[in-house]
């Protein structure tokens, strides 16, 4: 009995030692702290939670691989509630109290913009996260954005090309009253001016707008041939519904452009058939071929189910996972976690990610924009799985990923299968 107990203890100790060994090897070298705030509640909360899951996937996987420079990655995240007033305080805490080594920006333009001066002043590297033009004025030289757009026109370019190809000569511009939408609107105005397109309606709406019937009626009265909208998720749904109820007029060739939210699965499935015909921006849609993306999406889908977040995860998760991949390549490539060294590496290297190769320009945005403009077609109500099919969102732009031509006018596109 004594003998067997001793043997059992020995075996237990050996097992404990063997399972603890890899962790011990990492823990011996300390940790690399990566910190960020993420909108987990508020208007960007749904997207933020899906993005966060992808980042957590990378953290888990990199730790299994032995961490960064042999150190375990510790991931510190706070909820900024999609409130830009919260982010400067959170990032100050991350730097001064949590003493993080590396920073990732929160998802979205509005929460990111207020932290740019702080990050520049502290000379910290910041991995951008689907924000738009936040570095245009600050000019921080250690900023690297994961989003597939660069200047203000890159987002609307594909939309205006499709409209003008259909013969449109006038446009309406409707934009939310915030930094992100206003930057986009400026890009659309620039493109309209350059292309000789007359802007017949140009309005901003406040974030607390509850019903868009009057605005859609006013747009209809202006008789535009293109309707370019830049809106946040709640507004996008209300606008799509109001367009379905009030109508835009038979002269409208293309409608959509920069509506945030139409990339999120819960919103796509709740709008169902109302999405048909809408030509809107996206980052990735099924059918686009990148090495590793399908495997990533499979692994993501398994974890998304348990985490109760966006089950498809096409829009933000792959690009957030790519942030981790880029940091990992930079740390391994420089054998350092010093901000300046990592920034120098990120500037000169083409990085391999699940969203394809990424090469940064001087301003820290992508050297070549890759914003997709895709048209919804043949969408049925209450069917999430349909969105995995490549023919439900037909890529109109960019040409390298094109899977079809835009159907115009908008009324015809709504009925197309």
How far, in Å, are 153, 207, 231 from residue 257 at the CA level?
12, 19, 10
Chain-centroid distance of CA 108 in Å reads 8
Q: Cβ contacts of residue 345 below 8 Å, gap of 6+? A: 329, 330, 333, 334
CB atoms within 10 A of CB 293: 20
Nearer Cβ to another protein (150/263): 263
- How near is the Cβ of 414 to another protein at its closest, in Å? 13
Q: Of residues 69, 76, 95, 246, which one binds another protein by CB under 8 A?
A: 246
Stretch of 39-47, 99-107, 183-191, 409-417 contacting another protein, by CB under 8 A: 39-47
Q: Which of residues 138-157 bind another protein (CB under 8 A)?
A: none
Contact (CB, 8 A) for 139 and 118: no
Strand 351-353, strand 356-358: pairing: antiparallel
- 3-class secondary structure, 277: coil
Question: Could you say whether residue 303 binds another protein (CB under 8 A)?
Answer: no
Nearer Cβ to another protein (383/405): 383
Question: Could you say whether residue 41 binds another protein (CB under 8 A)?
Answer: yes
Q: Is 76 exposed, middle or buried (0-12, 13-18, 19+ CB in 10 A)?
A: middle
Interface mask (CB under 8 A) for another protein, residues 63-102, using x and -? ------------------x---------------------
Nearer Cβ to another protein (190/203): 203
Q: Of residues 34, 46, 262, 293, which one binds another protein by CB under 8 A?
A: 46
Contact (CB, 8 A) for 126 and 119: yes
Show the tokens assigned to 123: 């000379």
- How near is the Cβ of 194 to another protein at its closest, in Å? 25
Question: Could you say whether residue 206 binds another protein (CB under 8 A)?
Answer: yes
Nearer Cβ to another protein (45/398): 45
Q: Is 251 exposed, middle or buried (0-12, 13-18, 19+ CB in 10 A)?
A: middle
Beta bridge partners of 32: 73
Q: Of residues 45, 88, 258, 277, which one binds another protein by CB under 8 A?
A: 45
DSSP state of 198: E
Rounded Cα distance between 112 and 220, Å, is 35
Stretch of 59-67, 162-170, 204-212, 385-393 contacting another protein, by CB under 8 A: 204-212
Rounded Cα distance between 256 and 276, Å, is 11
Show the tokens assigned to 108: 């979205």
- 3-class secondary structure, 124: coil
Question: Could you say whether residue 279 binds another protein (CB under 8 A)?
Answer: no
Q: Of residues 217, 305, 348, 415, which one binds another protein by CB under 8 A?
A: 217
Helix ranges, 103-229 (H): 109-112, 116-121, 157-165, 179-194, 213-222
Show the tokens assigned to 233: 């998720």
Question: Could you say whether residue 209 binds another protein (CB under 8 A)?
Answer: yes
Beta bridge partners of 134: none
Length of the chain: 417
- Count of positions on this chain that bind another protein (CB under 8 A): 46
The residue assigned the tokens 């048909």 is 276
Interface mask (CB under 8 A) for another protein, residues 14-33, using x and -? --------------------
Question: Could you say whether residue 266 binds another protein (CB under 8 A)?
Answer: yes
Q: Of residues 37, 40, 182, 263, which one binds another protein by CB under 8 A?
A: 40
- How near is the Cβ of 382 to another protein at its closest, in Å? 8
Question: Could you say whether residue 178 binds another protein (CB under 8 A)?
Answer: no
Question: Could you say whether residue 250 binds another protein (CB under 8 A)?
Answer: no
- How near is the Cβ of 40 to another protein at its closest, in Å? 7
CB atoms within 10 A of CB 339: 18
Question: Could you say whether residue 371 binds another protein (CB under 8 A)?
Answer: no
- How near is the Cβ of 275 to another protein at its closest, in Å? 12
- How near is the Cβ of 326 to another protein at its closest, in Å? 27
- Under the rule (CB under 8 A), what is the footprint of another protein? 40-43, 45-46, 48-49, 81, 177, 203-211, 213-215, 217-218, 221-222, 233-234, 237-238, 241-242, 244-247, 264, 266-267, 270, 274, 308-310, 381-382
């Amino acid at each position: 009995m004594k003998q067997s107990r001793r043997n059992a203890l020995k075996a237990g100790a050996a097992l404990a030692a063997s399972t603890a060994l890899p962790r011990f090897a990492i823990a011996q070298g300390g940790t690399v702290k990566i910190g960020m705030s993420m909108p987990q509640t508020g208007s960007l909360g749904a997207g933020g939670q899906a993005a966060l899951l992808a980042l957590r996937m990378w953290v888990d996987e990199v730790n299994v691989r032995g961490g960064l420079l042999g150190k375990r990655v510790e991931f510190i995240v706070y909820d900024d509630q999609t409130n830009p007033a919260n982010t400067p305080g959170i990032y100050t805490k991350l730097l001064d109290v949590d003493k993080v080594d590396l920073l990732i920006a929160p998802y979205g333009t509005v929460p990111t913009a207020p932290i740019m001066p702080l990050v520049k002043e502290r000379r910290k590297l910041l991995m951008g996260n689907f924000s738009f033009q936040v570095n245009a004025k600050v000019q921080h030289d250690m900023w690297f954005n994961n989003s597939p757009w660069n200047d203000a026109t890159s987002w609307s370019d594909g939309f205006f090309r499709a409209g003008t190809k259909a013969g449109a000569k006038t446009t309406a511009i409707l934009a939310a009253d915030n930094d992100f939408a206003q930057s986009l609107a400026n890009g659309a105005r620039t493109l309209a001016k350059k292309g000789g397109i007359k802007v017949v309606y140009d309005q901003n709406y406040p974030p607390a707008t509850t019903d868009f019937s009057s605005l859609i009626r006013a747009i209809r009265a202006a008789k535009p041939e293109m309707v370019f909208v830049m809106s946040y998720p709640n507004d996008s749904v209300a606008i799509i519904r109001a367009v379905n109820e009030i109508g835009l007029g038979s002269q409208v060739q293309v409608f959509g452009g920069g509506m945030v939210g139409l990339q999120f699965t819960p919103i796509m499935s709740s709008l169902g058939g109302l999405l048909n015909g809408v030509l809107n921006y996206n980052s990735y849609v099924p059918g686009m071929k990148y090495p590793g993306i399908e495997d990533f999406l499979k692994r993501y889908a398994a974890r998304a189910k348990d985490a109760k977040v966006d089950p498809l995860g096409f829009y933000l998760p792959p690009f957030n996972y790519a942030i981790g991949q880029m940091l990992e390549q930079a740390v391994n490539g420089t054998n350092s976690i010093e901000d300046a060294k990592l920034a120098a590496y990120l500037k000169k290297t083409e990085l391999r990610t699940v969203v394809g190769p990424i090469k940064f320009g001087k301003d820290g945005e992508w050297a070549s924009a890759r914003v997709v403009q895709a048209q919804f077609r043949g969408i049925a109500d209450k069917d999430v799985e349909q969105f995995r099919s490549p023919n439900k969102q037909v890529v109109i732009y960019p040409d390298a990923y094109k899977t079809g031509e835009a159907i115009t006018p908008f009324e015809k596109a709504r009925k197309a299968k």
